Structure 1
Amino acid sequence: MPSTNHKLQMVKRFISVLIFLIFIPAILSAQGDLLIKVPDSSNQHLQFLQAHHGIKLRYRTPDFAIIQVPLKSGSIKAHQDALNELPDPQVLDTVTPGFNYYVLWVPSADERTAIERYGEILYQFGGLSLLKLHINLESILLDLPVHHRAKLPANIVLPDFQPPSFAPSISASPQQQSVIQGLLDQADGMRWVWQTIALVENEDLQRPGQFFRSRYALRVRDAVQFDDKPQPDHACDNSADYIAQQFRSYGLEVEFDSFDHRRRSALGTLIGEYVMRNVIATLPGKGPNKDRIYLMVGHYDSIASKTPGWDGGWRRMAAPGASDNASGIAEILETARILSQQDFDYTIRFIAFSGEELFLFGSKHYARLVRERGDDIAGVLNFDLLGHDPDGNLDIHVLGDEGSQWLVNAFGAAAERYRLPIDLRLKNDPSFIFSDHSPFWDIGIPAVMVAEESSLDAPDESTEYIHSQEDNLTKISIPLLGELAIKLAVATLAELARPIVGSSPPLNPDIFWESKGIAVSNPSPTKGDEVMISAEVTNAGPVPVENITVQFVVVNPDGTSETLPEQSVALSVNQPKTVSNRFTPATWGVYTLRAVVNDDTRVFESNFNNNRIETELTVMDPRVTIENIVAYPNPLRLNQPRTALKLTYTLSRDAEVIVSIYDTVGEQVLESVFLAGDNGGQLGANDAFTWEGKRNLFEFVAPGVYICRITATDADGESRTEGTKIAVIR
């Protein structure tokens, strides 16, 4: 006889096929947004695509990005215009209502086969798979034998500037270093072990001697079932109460952040409503930066979905979650205990998230709250999977995206300064979106994940026990691992938040550009004129600094950039210094001039947000001129799908442009008019004209040689005409 669990799986597979059959007509007929893979592009290029074509950045790796290109006005041509802006686009899918995209760690063929019973794998890379799945089948992913799984965000916010990735040197006074060392001396590996045990056992606070041994996020007091199943108990809420109790015992301000979670069946029927809680403890800042906040976060919920019978038995089954993530919450509790004894300039919030194992619901909710309230979050430190190290090496990963590398480097600098014997692996990997740092990346906030080495470099080492009842206390490594992780957290957070010691000055200097901005020697240059750029930089103290790097970056009209030769300056306290450099614009258009100071983070500052300023410089000519004419592909092959000739050219000023195509006997084949200031008639590069090889957009022309003429007429009535030849073949 088949088991109950096997019957449930068969029912789910039948429902998934039924849903696919219901929606397939809509999929086949839809002209929706396109999901496209492109080679990794610069932030400037992706921001250009967002501004001009409304694309959404859905996912990013060091090697490629996945973007969503919108269908505008129901036109396939709108897709084509956007695609023409992309380098080597690969269309992965047409976005259809009712479906979501997920990234899963599924390295084996058997696991991929199991996944494909419910959804479509669109792309595979490095052991990960991009899955398209109907929204009602999302809960099935929790039952499948995969560890890393995440839903693609709707859109990732791109920062205006990407900080570089060099290790900082933190400026702390000897007195402040002594205070931080004293805090480090209080780290106790055995206390970390005891806290981990307490979280795993999860003793009922109302009935001492009774143990839940689970922190599954749906086991909450405030729950309503609509499927005639029993009400869950309060195992997860009990753990939240324990964590809050611990925070209060350290004298911290504690609050619960509640949010609703609904679960539906594969057919969309509501089967349960649950109120989950994040636990937030605040150590208020006492200095001039008290309104700026560092977050130390981790998830306290657990799951054992890879243990047989979980789907129907989660209300009573154990889900110890020792390494994932009682170990991380124990790190947070111990760090909070130690830091609560010291006043800091910045505010620190310690947050235990719920719902992480259900696609990061708690951290996504809190990130939305942060954005709505406008909280000034300086950085996020996420601790996850820090209990088990199978090879005995004390190696820890600190992982961030490009915009978070200064925060990654803060860990490296702190570990070096306080001589922590850790093999620290610093990583830049925006593709790792499987934990609670990821929702903060989505809204442009620097965030890092701190985790045991094996969970990142070799995730298959942990998949055998993670998300199962095997993730128990036997997986907790020697106390020294926990103690070193606590010291790493204490040292880094203390350096960032700046301990206040008597009347001591702030821990870190602040280097910034004066408000007058960037000055240029010639505000109205033409192509080929040399331009002097200058700006004033100031060190607000508390101490003089030396060997500070200063750079000017010129962003060309086409989005490419040129970094002018680097300079090194010494800055006394509150004495502005003028720095300058020269460049010669090679083409017409609008340039962005950017001044950057301390870009190698040689000095670790209290505020990195004022280290760059920028202005625009328009380079034009009073006489209308047409240059850099390129027609491609040339020759143009007729009757080829998605093939059209694109004409690009550069104008020395805004002008009305007429593009005409003639055959060899002088008969006009096509004419297009572009208004001054629009793409096609704007200063700088223009690429609005396309031609599919048709006469007046209807019938294909005969193979042969054609003449393309471009006539530009400026506001003064002066005109200029240039031309190029186009070959047409079959």
Structure 2
Amino acid sequence: MKLLKTTFLCFFISVLSTSAQSVQDIINSVDIDIITQVISEFSGEESTIVDGNSVTILNREYNNNDVAADYLVEKFEQLDNLTITDQAFNTSGRNIIATQLGQTNPNDIYVICAHYDTVADYCADDNASGVAAVLEAARILSTQCLDNTIVYALWDEEEIGLRGSLFYSNEAASNGDNILGVLNLDMIGYDGDAPGQPGDNEFDIDVRNIAGSIAMKDAIVNVLNSYVFDLDVIVVDPGTSFSDHASFWSNNYSAVLLGESWETNDQTPFYHTSGDRFNTLDLPYLHEMVKLTTAYMATVGGLVSVDNTVSQTPTMLTANQTSASYQWINCDTDLPISGATNQSYTPTVSGTYAVEVTSGACTEISECFEFDTLGLDSFVASEVKLFPNPVKSQLHIDVSGIDGAIALDLFDVSGKLILQKTSSDHITSLPMKELPEGVYFLKLTSAQKTGTYKVVKK
């Protein structure tokens, strides 16, 4: 059983979750800090960890982007409920694809996609911005029960002829795949107004009367008008064919391009140059664009309203979904707790716990929550960073915001203590190369706080 990424919150908080139960909750869950971190790493502004090594992804040109592709694979691997395909379509091209199978209509497929290759260094807007949006949609929606299948696709070799998306589209058509809509995101982070200042915030939807593309455009506009976004739409018909959505038009699939407004000449002036840097992006505008695209995918994906949030008191955990079946799980062992099948559960020992909620045909698992019978507070997310996770050799623990010694205890899924260490360093490394592949749990304890984190060893 795979659990969602662990979140630790203080014991006195009444309702604990970052998971969404409605489209509005989906919108509220879009995290600009996560988006900007991905763009900074993927455009080479900051170093990152790939395959256990510190790297800088400065350039993603088609014959120089294997590290970038590996980064994307590892990002998808951190999420649950996804099947990942590393699709080699020629000697150098790799599409990175993650599929979330629909619970009710698995053959009804919607695609959200972006290209990740470039023609120069950096290229934050073109198209790290679109890549970050696809990853953010996957981060949020992979925790949810959906009626329909969503494919999160990141294409290679767009810049030299739409090769990656065309390969996928041709193969899908040959297989008879029932793709009902393709949302292509290409350059969604630049707005000509001063970053963060009020302005037109216009964006283009490029569309043509092919298959159900017009209806797809209308559905996006309907989402735009149904919730509050600081965006104004410009419909371009006939729209451009110079991006990956055109590969699907060629096979008579419904598809649109969503991006900053080329129609009003409000595209980045740094297009296809190494001047396309992170500091040229308008982050509030980008945030709105990702909220809209994620909300649209939640809508067409058929978001099922299963409440997997948990309420907590100093003595009890309670699932907020009523009229359901429940199974409480010990996150420290990744195993169900025998007999713990009621809506509420009272832990007898300190640890991390989650609940599996089954309502109708859908089952969702809550996040893991720290429950401390000793009364210690939990570390907040910004205080502890673990990377890489999944890990192959060295696990790095960054506690730069914490002073004093911290005890580190690594357990396997059976609860057996594997490694133990005390450190006062801001960054500590644990050797994991010789450990078997599988799930482990790292418990950190300072004088004032504690937390337990899920680690996947590859």
- Which of the five TM-score ranges fits, normalised by the shorter chain? 0.5 to 0.7
Structure 1 stretches lacking a partner, 5+ long: 1-176, 220-235, 261-273, 305-318, 504-730
User: Residues of 2 paired with 1:502 and 1:188: CA distance?
Assistant: 21
Pairwise CA RMSD of aligned residues?
1.9
User: Residues of 2 paired with 1:437 and 1:465: CA distance?
Assistant: 23
Q: 2:265 — aligned with what?
A: 458
User: Residues of 2 paired with 1:488 and 1:356: CA distance?
Assistant: 24
Q: 2:158 — aligned with what?
A: 356
Asked if structure 2 preserves the Cα contact closer than 8 Å seen for 1:405 and 1:428, the reply is no
Match of 1:345 among 117, 133, 147: 147
SS at match of 1:484: helix
User: Residues of 2 paired with 1:341 and 1:457: CA distance?
Assistant: 37
Q: Does 1:468 align with 2:270?
A: no
Larger RCO (alpha carbons 8 Å, 6+ apart):
2
How far 1:359 sits from its partner (Å)?
1.2
SS at match of 1:387: coil
1:253–1:486 distance in 2 versus 1, CA, 3 Å: same
Q: 1:405 — aligned with what?
A: 214
User: Residues of 2 paired with 1:204 and 1:357: CA distance?
Assistant: 26
Q: 2:97 — aligned with what?
A: 280
SS at match of 1:244: helix
1:576-725 matches, within 5 Å, as none
Letter in 2 for 1:239: A
Q: Does 1:237 align with 2:46?
A: no
Match of 1:258 among 88, 92, 96: 88
How far 1:206 sits from its partner (Å)?
4.6
Asked if structure 2 preserves the Cα contact closer than 8 Å seen for 1:189 and 1:481, the reply is no
Asked if structure 2 preserves the Cα contact closer than 8 Å seen for 1:409 and 1:426, the reply is no
Asked if structure 2 preserves the Cα contact closer than 8 Å seen for 1:204 and 1:238, the reply is no
Q: 2:223 — aligned with what?
A: 414
How far 1:253 sits from its partner (Å)?
1.3
User: Residues of 1 paired with 2:215 and 2:57: CA distance?
Assistant: 41
1:211–1:178 distance in 2 versus 1, CA, 3 Å: closer
Match of 1:218 among 63, 66, 72: 63
Asked if structure 1 preserves the Cα contact closer than 8 Å seen for 2:145 and 2:306, the reply is no
Q: Does 1:429 align with 2:238?
A: yes
Q: Does 1:302 align with 2:118?
A: yes
Which of these two proteins has the greater Rg computed from alpha carbons? Answer: 1
Q: Does 1:391 align with 2:193?
A: yes
Match of 1:194 among 32, 37, 57: 37
Letter in 1 for 2:84: V
Letter in 2 for 1:215: R
User: Residues of 1 paired with 2:52 and 2:139: CA distance?
Assistant: 26
Q: Does 1:485 align with 2:259?
A: no
User: Residues of 2 paired with 1:345 and 1:472: CA distance?
Assistant: 38
- The CA deviation string for residues 349-369 of structure 1, in whole angstroms up to 9 with x for no partner, is 000000001111111111111
SS at match of 2:145: coil
1:88-103 matches, within 5 Å, as none
- The CA deviation string for residues 504-553 of structure 1, in whole angstroms up to 9 with x for no partner, is xxxxxxxxxxxxxxxxxxxxxxxxxxxxxxxxxxxxxxxxxxxxxxxxxx
SS at match of 1:324: helix
User: Residues of 1 paired with 2:30 and 2:52: CA distance?
Assistant: 31
Q: 1:325 — aligned with what?
A: 127
Asked if structure 2 preserves the Cα contact closer than 8 Å seen for 1:216 and 1:301, the reply is yes
> What TM-score do the two structures reach when normalised by structure 1?
0.37
SS at match of 1:301: coil
User: Residues of 1 paired with 2:134 and 2:263: CA distance?
Assistant: 20
Structure 2 stretches lacking a partner, 5+ long: 1-19, 308-458
User: Residues of 1 paired with 2:22 and 2:169: CA distance?
Assistant: 32
Match of 2:250 among 442, 448, 453: 442
SS at match of 1:398: strand
SS at match of 1:240: helix
Letter in 2 for 1:327: S
1:496-507 matches, within 5 Å, as 496-501=300-305
User: Residues of 2 paired with 1:248 and 1:209: CA distance?
Assistant: 18
Match of 1:181 among 19, 24, 27: 24
1:213–1:427 distance in 2 versus 1, CA, 3 Å: same
- Displaced runs of 4+ in structure 1, greater than 6 A? none
Number of aligned residues: 278
Asked if structure 2 preserves the Cα contact closer than 8 Å seen for 1:418 and 1:491, the reply is no
Asked if structure 1 preserves the Cα contact closer than 8 Å seen for 2:21 and 2:306, the reply is no
Letter in 2 for 1:398: I
User: Residues of 2 paired with 1:480 and 1:470: CA distance?
Assistant: 20
SS at match of 2:67: helix
Letter in 1 for 2:256: V
User: Residues of 2 paired with 1:491 and 1:332: CA distance?
Assistant: 12
